[in-house]
Structure formats: C-alpha cells, structure tokens
Amino acid sequence: MEVDKYSTLLSPVDNEHFKRRFFLTGEPINESLITNVFFVPRAGDKWLYLVKDSGKLDYPGGELREGESVIFGLERMLGLELGISMKSINKLGHWILEDKYETPLREHFSHPISAAVVFTGDANFVNSNNLKSATTEEVCRLLKSEGRHLQADIYLACAEYLESLD
C-alpha cells in the first residue's frame, strides 16, 4: 500500500482529550483493549457509506457493549442495525488511543489505553434509507467536501487493500 497517500489517517493526533495513532496492520491486537469497531463495506464495485441522522457521512461501526466480542459487535451493528451481512472480513488496521481523562469514557472501557479497529470486506446489503453506495472516487469526494478527510483516507486505504487481495 502506498502509505504516503493517507496523510490524515497516519498522522498522529495529540490534543487536550487524547493521543491517537493509526497502524496499518492486519496483525491481531489484544481484544481487551478494543472499545470500538468499524467495518468499511464493499458491495460489488461500490462502497457503502452511512448517512447519519445529522446528515454526516461515515462508515458503519461504533462502541462495543460490555462483554461483547469484536465479531458479535460487528454483526450486531451491521446486521441488526443496518441490514448488512459480511461476506468477508479483513483487518485494515487499528488506532491506539491514550485518553487524558481520569476515568474511562465508559465504565467497561480499557483505560487509559484503548484501541479502535477498522475492518473491511465484501458485504451483502439490503436497501436502507441510512446507507448509500458510491465508487471509491465518489465516496472520497463526498467525504472531503464535508471536511471528513480521515474518513476519505480510510475508504481509499480499504479500496487499495482489498484490490491487493483480489
């Protein structure tokens, strides 16, 4: 993968709330650190993206519930909430986050170090009002037009990664 393409994704962040760094790696991570999971779904030659109630575009995913495994959490978020079933799943990478708060954001979250994992793969999808599909170029253009460069980098990295596997 051409990592220089993903400057927003791979740039470390250090602000008043947290430090964050993304690692492009398929290597496993200690599951006890994982608080959030995301899945960037490809359906045929298009990418699915979520249109949130606020109108913002994003990729599906979110917080794991207490005691929930990564795969079960993904299946819940994708299947029950969005009507997506995974045909294949591949780990793109993960963020390591170090929050600067005295207590964890959620009682069951790892603290102060946690992780968020991004997966990608092929998916089946039932038409949904919250999900749209577009080519890689289209979804990246839409995201960048909203100032969501990080999300655009993730879609671009997922497209390149899955193409390398095809």
Contacts of 1 (CB under 8 A, 6+ apart): 24, 157, 160, 161, 164
Residue range 123-141, pLDDT digits in tens: 987 767 788 999 999 999 9
The residue assigned the tokens 């749209």 is 132
129 neighbors 50 (Cβ within 8 angstroms): no
The residue assigned the tokens 């994982």 is 34
Residue 3 confidence (pLDDT) above 80: no
Residue range 15-65, pLDDT digits in tens: 999 999 999 988 889 999 999 999 999 999 999 999 988 999 999 999 999
Pull the structure tokens for residue 66: 């207490």
- Topology at the third CATH level for domain 3-165: Nucleoside Triphosphate Pyrophosphohydrolase (3.90.79)
DSSP-derived 3-state class of residue 57? strand
Average pLDDT over residues 65-70: 92
